[in-house]
Structure 1
Amino acid sequence: MAPHREPIHDINPLTGVDIEVFYSDRTLETFGRGAAGWFWWPRRRGFAPDGLAIGPFPTSYAAYRNAMSLSRTKG
């Protein structure tokens, strides 16, 4: 069975920045970075991303933690 790879949407409670954490693999050619993994970007659900994807990270948790720490300085 394949791992669950649904995107995660959350809001940083300190800044109000909306983020999306998602998995991308080589079949999607990960934004020219040539690696599979978890990425995140500032993005309100239903809207285009507000910036470039950051990653890849080995786990969704690692991407989420990075997003929460970096989105504290944005917004």
Structure 2
Amino acid sequence: MTMKINVFLLLLVSGISLLTSCKHKEAKQEKIQTVKTEMASVYGEVKTSSFPGRVKAASEINLSFRISGPITKINVT
């Protein structure tokens, strides 16, 4: 009697787990967020302001690179 109950419970648990694992999950669609964009353009007058001063870093970080040697040029626009 106990053996029949154990086999029945084992089959019942196996069947329930099989049914729940084969359940089709609905694919969630990602909501695409729209953003405003604007093309960069040059207006008639280009204004430049220059001020005397010095720039000092708030913190320093030691960097290491695979290739050693001095930095000869930094292009900043």
Q: TM-score, normalised by structure 2?
A: 0.17
Q: Which has the higher helix share?
A: 2
* Higher relative contact order structure (alpha carbons within 8 Å, sequence separation ≥ 6): 1
Q: Which has the higher strand share?
A: 1
Q: TM-score, normalised by structure 1?
A: 0.18
**Rg comparison, structure with higher value:** 2
